[in-house]
Structure 1
Amino acid sequence: MILLLLFLAITQFSNADEPFDVRKHLATVTRYADSKDISANSFVSSEIPDQCTPIHLNLVARHGTRAPTKKKIRELDALDAHLEVLVRDAKEHKQYSEKIPSWLAGWRSPWKGKVTGGELITEGEDELYHLGIRVRERFPDLFNEEYHPDVYSIKTTQVPRASASAVAFGMGLFNERGKLGPGRHRAFAVTSESRASDIVLRFHDCCQSYKAFRKSQEPNVNKLKEPLLNEITHELVRQYGLNFTNQDVSSLWFLCKQEASLLNITNQACSLFSPSEVSLLEWTDDLELFILKGYGDTLNYRMGVPLLEDVVQSMEQAIKAKEEGYATGIYEKARMRFAHAETLLPFSCLIGLFLEESEFERIQREESLELPPKPPKNRNWRGSNVAPFAGNNMLILYSCQSDNSSKYFVQVLHNERPIALPGCHGSSFCPFEIFKDKIAAPHLKHDYNMLCNVIEQKQKDSAST
C-alpha cells in the first residue's frame, strides 16, 4: 500500500499539468482516438525528400472498437450476480454499507441477457471510416486511379468485426467515388480466406505449436499477476467494506475498460481504482500481451512470416512495375488488410517496432528480452499504443529520383505517425534493400509449417539438444 501511495504521489507531481485520463490506460481496449497521443518518448521523423513519390501502400489494421465477446459477457454476468450478493451482505452491517459506492447498489451489466457478442459497434465503424478518408487525403497520388480490385486490394479475416471494419474503411476510402445513393458510394471487393487455412492474417489460429505454447504459459502469466491482484484486492476490501476476491477485481478492471472505452463511463467501475492502481493493472495487461503475443517468445511473431512475406512481395512487385514502366491501372497500388490484435502485434514485432537498437539486435540473434518494466518506470511496450482498437501499421514504398545508390525507400507509420525502425538506425525512412535484408530476411528464413507443426518442432528441438 505504501508503494501504491508513493507511486501516486510521483505520478501526480510529474503530470501536474495533465490530468490523469483512464481512457488512455486501457491496454488493447483503448479507443483509437485516445491512443494516438500516447508515446513513451518523443521521436522526430525523417523528412521525405521532395524528389520521392509514393508508389505503393501496405496496411495492416486491427478491427475497430467492438462489443464484449460472448465469453466476456458471461464473466460480467457472473460479476453482476456476485456483486449483488456482496452488496446485500454489506448492507446488513451499517458501518460497511456507508462505504459502498452509490452506483453499485442495483448495478446490472449493460450486456446482461445478450447471447451474441464481439461485433463492431458504431464507434468502431466510425474509426475505420475516417481512417479511410485520411489515408486517401494523405496519399492522393496513390488513390487517384479508377477503382479496380487488382489495383486496390482489400483483404480481411472471416471474423465479422474484421470484415465489417474493412467495409467501413472502404466506404471512407472510396467516399464520393461512385453513384450509389446520396453519398455517391461505390461497390468494392473485400476478400478473405477460410479460417481454417488463413495463415496470412490468422496465422495464430492455424499454428498448433503456438496454441500449445500459449496454453503452457498462461499459468505463469497468472502467477506473475497474482501478487499485484492480491495487493489491490486487499486495498479495495479495506476501502469499500465489500469482500472482493481476486476474480472480482480482475472482472471489475475488465468492466472499467469496457465502460470507459465503449460507453465513455469513467465514474463507476474505473472510480474504484486510484490512478496508480490503474497504471499497475494496465502493466499486468501489457505483461500478458508481451509474453503471449509479443516479444516474450520468438514463436509469437515468427509465426507471422507469411504476412511479412506477403508485404515484401507486394513491394517487390510494385518496384518491378515501376522499373518496367507498367501502364497505370494494371498494377497494384495498395494492399490493405483488416484483422486482429493477434495479427497486428506479431507483425509489429517482425519489423522491430517499440525496441531500442540493442534490443533489435538481440531478437535478430533469437535472444529473449526482459519483461516490460513496472511503473513508475517508462516502457515502450504499452497495449494502448501498440494495438488499440483500429490500431494499424502502414508501410509506404517510395520511388526517389536521386544520385544515391538506393532508389526505393520504405516509411513505416504506426497509427498514422512515423515510427523509428531500430533495424534501420532509428530512421523512419529506410532504404528498401536494408528493410528487406536486415529487417525482414532474418525472419523470412523460417518456414511457417516447420514453426507451427508441433511434431516437427519437437523433432527440431530434440535434434538441437
Structure 2
Amino acid sequence: MVASGVCFWRSCILILPIIFIYVDCFRKDLFSTKTCYHWIYDLDQHVPQDEYMKTEISGQSCQAIYASALIRHGARYPSLKDIRSMSELHKKLLRYKVDKKLKFLTSWKNPYPEAEEKGLVKLGEVEQYQLGLRINRKLFSLFENNLENVKFVSSSTSRTKKSLQAFHKGFNGNMDEDSNVQYDIDDKILRFHTKCKRFLESVENNKTHIKEYRKFKSESHAVNLAAAVAKRLEVDDLNITTGDLKLLYFLCPFEIIISNKEDWCHILTDEEKEIMEYHYDLKQYWKKAYGHSVIPKMACPMVKKLFSHFDNAIKNRKQEERDPSVGSFFFGHVETLAPVYAALGLFNDTVPLLANNFEQQRNRLFKASHILPFSANIVLILYDCHSNGEAGGDNRFALKLYVNEKVTKFPGCQDDTCWYDEVRQRVSSHVDGCEFDRYCGMGEHAHTAHGEL
C-alpha cells in the first residue's frame, strides 16, 4: 500500500518491513523553532491581490497606509555544537549495533559542514523569497510604484542579511537578479538580548532560571520516552540520554531541510515528538518570552521603533505632508520575535507552562512550532479610517496584526481590527516608557548570548 501526502504538514512513506516505526505518516508541525515555515503555512492556498489593503471597524472602511514586519531568518544549518553532537550520537548508535535495526546508519555521513554552522540554507532562501512575493501581493496597491520608499533593516548575522536579500528579491519580483537592496544593520533593536546585562545575568546565563525545562526531564513523560526508544531499538544496555533525545528530535527536520531525506524521522512517534515539542516550548517560554519581567521590557527598542513609524505615518497623514514612506521590514531571530510577542501580550496562556502540566497544555497558545518557526513573521498594518476616505480632518486610524500571515487579535481588542490609539495606549510602557539602559545596563557588560536561534 502506498500512502500519499495528505496535507502540507504531514509526510508519508511506504509501509515496508524495514521501516523502523510502523506508521505510514508523520507530522512535520512539531519541531519547535526548527520547524520549516511551509510546514505550518499552506503554500497551495490562493493569495488574492490586495488581500490586506482594506479592513473595517465600527462601520468605517479603512485603507492601508503603512506596513511594518518583523521577520525571523529562514531555515538554517544546525549550530556547531549540534553538528558535532550529531556525529557523536551516530558513533554511539553504531557501537551499540543499532544499525541492525536502523539500516541507514551504516552509510550515513554527517551532511552538515562545520563551516556552515547556523548559515542560511537554500530552503531558507526559498522561504524568504516566497514570503516577499506574498507580502507584496497582499499589499500590492500600497507598494506599487513605492518600492523605493520601503525601509529594510537586518541584524548583523549572515543568516538575517541573506534572508533580507532573498525576501527583497521576492518583494521586487527579481528572482533572476542579484539583490542590490540598500539596508541598515541595527543590533540595538534586533539583537537587544545580547546587550541587556540583567537578562544575561538573570536569565541567559542562569541555569536555575529555566528550572521547569530542567524539571521536565524527570517527569514521567520524558523518562518513559527514553525507555520506550531504547526498548524499540532492542538494545538492552543502551542508555538514551536527554541529550540523545534532543538530537533524535532535531535530526529529523534538519535532514529534511538540507538533504531532503526522512531516515531520522521515524525513530520517534508523533506522540513522542509532541513530548519533545513541549519540552522545548518550556525553554522558549521561560527563557525568551514570559519567564522574567525583563524579557518584554528589553524588547522595547524594537516595539518603540515599530510604533514610531506608525506615529510618523499618522502625523504626515493628518498634516497632509508628502512623506513617501510606506513600509519597513526588520529581520531578526527567535530572540527578537519571542520577547516582542511578550511585550504585545500575544500567546500568553492563562496557566503558565510548567513541567507537570503537559496534558493540560496540549492546546496551549504558546507553541513554538506554530509561532516561532523558521521565517516566522509579525506584520502590522496601519489603516486610515476617515469616513470619506480623504486625508486630513478627523481621521481615525486602525491597526491590524498578522502572525505568520494569519490575522491575530491584539489582547483586549474585540475584533480583528483595533483602533490604533487603543493599541498604542496598551503598549505605551514599551514605547513612551522605554528605558532600556535602566532595565538592562549597557557597555562593557554586554556580550554575545549563547545558543542564539
Shared fold, TM over 0.5: yes
Per the alignment, residue 46 of structure 2 pairs with: none
Per the alignment, residue 159 of structure 2 pairs with: 161
Q: Does 1:276 align with 2:281?
A: no
The alpha-carbon distance between structure 1 residues 75 and 398, as it changes in their structure 2 partners (threshold 3 A), is: same
Q: What is the CA–CA distance in structure 2 between the aligned matches of 1:431 and 1:341, rounded to whole Å?
A: 28
Within a 5 Å distance, the mapping from 1:11-26 to structure 2 comes to 21-26=26-31
Q: Look up the equivalent residue of 2:115 and give its one-letter code.
A: V
> Displacement of 1:245 after TM fit?
2.6
The alpha-carbon distance between structure 1 residues 454 and 125, as it changes in their structure 2 partners (threshold 3 A), is: closer
Q: Does 1:31 align with 2:36?
A: yes
Of stretches 207-216 and 160-169 in structure 1, the one that deviates more from structure 2 is: 207-216
Per the alignment, residue 449 of structure 2 pairs with: none
Where does structure 1 differ by over 6 angstroms across 4 or more consecutive aligned residues?
403-406
> Displacement of 1:315 after TM fit?
0.2
RMSD: 2.8
> Displacement of 1:386 after TM fit?
1.0
The alpha-carbon distance between structure 1 residues 340 and 114, as it changes in their structure 2 partners (threshold 3 A), is: same
The alpha-carbon distance between structure 1 residues 443 and 323, as it changes in their structure 2 partners (threshold 3 A), is: closer
Q: Does 1:383 align with 2:368?
A: yes
Matching residue within 421, 425, 446 for 1:437: 425
- Which structure shows the bigger proportion of residues in helix conformation? 1
Per the alignment, residue 56 of structure 1 pairs with: 66
Per the alignment, residue 127 of structure 2 pairs with: 127
Q: How many residues align?
A: 396
Q: Look up the equivalent residue of 1:237 and give its one-letter code.
A: A
Identity over aligned pairs, percent: 23
Q: Look up the equivalent residue of 1:296 and give its one-letter code.
A: G
Within a 5 Å distance, the mapping from 1:156-235 to structure 2 comes to 156-176=154-174, 183=176, 187-193=180-186, 198-212=187-201, 213-216=203-206, 217-218=209-210, 221-227=213-219, 228-235=221-228
Gaps of 5+ in 2: 1-23, 43-51, 446-453
The alpha-carbon distance between structure 1 residues 331 and 405, as it changes in their structure 2 partners (threshold 3 A), is: closer
> Displacement of 1:444 after TM fit?
5.0
Of stretches 166-175 and 229-238 in structure 1, the one that deviates more from structure 2 is: 229-238
Per the alignment, residue 248 of structure 1 pairs with: 244
Of stretches 126-135 and 152-161 in structure 1, the one that deviates more from structure 2 is: 126-135
Aligned 8 A contact 2:166 2:179 in 1 = no
The alpha-carbon distance between structure 1 residues 185 and 139, as it changes in their structure 2 partners (threshold 3 A), is: farther
The alpha-carbon distance between structure 1 residues 183 and 80, as it changes in their structure 2 partners (threshold 3 A), is: closer
Residues 419-449 of structure 1: CA distance to partner in whole angstroms, max 9, x if unpaired? Answer: 1222323x32110110100234367535111
Q: What is the CA–CA distance in structure 2 between the aligned matches of 1:370 and 1:250, rounded to whole Å?
A: 19
Q: What is the CA–CA distance in structure 2 between the aligned matches of 1:423 and 1:444, rounded to whole Å?
A: 20
Secondary structure in 1 matching 2:194 = helix
> Displacement of 1:284 after TM fit?
0.6
Q: Look up the equivalent residue of 1:69 and give its one-letter code.
A: S
| TM-score between both structures, scaled by the size of structure 1 | 0.78
Q: What is the CA–CA distance in structure 2 between the aligned matches of 1:70 and 1:57, rounded to whole Å?
A: 36
Matching residue within 435, 442, 447 for 1:447: 435
Within a 5 Å distance, the mapping from 1:295-444 to structure 2 comes to 295-327=290-322, 330-355=323-348, 359=350, 369-371=352-354, 373-375=357-359, 377-402=362-387, 407-425=396-414, 427-441=415-429, 444=432
Per the alignment, residue 461 of structure 1 pairs with: none
Q: What is the CA–CA distance in structure 1 between the aligned matches of 2:122 and 2:103, rounded to whole Å?
A: 30
Aligned 8 A contact 2:152 2:182 in 1 = yes
Per the alignment, residue 117 of structure 2 pairs with: 117
Residues 221-246 of structure 1: CA distance to partner in whole angstroms, max 9, x if unpaired? Answer: 22323434332111122221230331
Q: What is the CA–CA distance in structure 1 between the aligned matches of 2:431 and 2:180, rounded to whole Å?
A: 37
| TM-score between both structures, scaled by the size of structure 2 | 0.80
Aligned 8 A contact 1:229 1:249 in 2 = no
Aligned 8 A contact 1:280 1:375 in 2 = no
Secondary structure in 2 matching 1:395 = strand
Of stretches 55-64 and 440-449 in structure 1, the one that deviates more from structure 2 is: 440-449
